[in-house]
Amino acid sequence: MPEFEQRFDEYGRGRVHDLGIFGATSAGDSLFVGVEEKVDESFGPRVQEAYLKAKARQITGESTKAPERIEGLLARHFVTPDPGMFDVRYQLLYGTAGTLAVGADVSVFYVAVFRTPLYDETIAAANFQDYENFIRRIEASPIRLSDDAAMAHEARIDGERLVCVHEVFAFE
């Protein structure tokens, strides 16, 4: 389902996946893959920037629940609060939360990166570093793959198993 929206909390819109894939494993377990497609754009602002901006809006009287949403996402992803959690990209927090919220037996957050002729290597490298930082911060464990263009990790978020996959496709 393109542009599949999945609510994961009571605040605002849900997570809009570029593509939501529903299926079943060979063992009969339900499967959901939340796809995030990228070329060389970032995963949005860092949590610190998003939180401070939302808090400033709230303090100046604007009606927003964004600070509460961010606090809830941080509590889900980080059992022990750590200042480094504010350095992750906000989109990765709500992307993984939206993937798990579907409630499938097997949940996969899949980042597909498309290298086109206009691909900016500098931006793409920073984006990949942000992804790796997120994987490290949520203490995900690597999963061995046979393809060098992809990497996979398993994480526990709020007690639930999540598989995160990052794969690069070259179109030149």
Q: Into how many domains does the chain fold? A: 1
Q: Is residue 33 part of a domain?
A: yes
pTM: 0.93
Handedness of CA 146, 2, 49, 116 (dihedral sign): positive
Q: Is residue 119 part of a domain?
A: yes
pLDDT of residue 119: 83
The predicted-structure confidence for 118-159, as pLDDT tens digits, reads as follows 888 898 899 999 999 999 999 999 999 988 889 999 999 999
Q: Is residue 159 part of a domain?
A: yes
What Rg do the C-alpha atoms of the chain give, in angstroms? Answer: 16
pLDDT of residue 121: 86
pLDDT of residue 93: 95
pLDDT of residue 149: 80
pLDDT of residue 141: 96
Nearest to 112 by CA among 42, 45, 44, 38: 38
Q: Is residue 64 part of a domain?
A: no
pLDDT of residue 118: 84
pLDDT of residue 92: 96
Q: Is residue 52 part of a domain?
A: no
Q: What range does the domain containing 146 cover? A: 2-44+91-170
Q: Is residue 57 part of a domain?
A: no
Q: Is residue 84 part of a domain?
A: no
Q: Report which secondary-structure segment, H or E, holds 163.
A: strand 160-170
Q: Report which secondary-structure segment, H or E, holds 161.
A: strand 160-170
CB–CB of 2/76 below 8 Å? Answer: no
Q: Is residue 142 part of a domain?
A: yes
Segments of the chain with pLDDT less than 70: 172
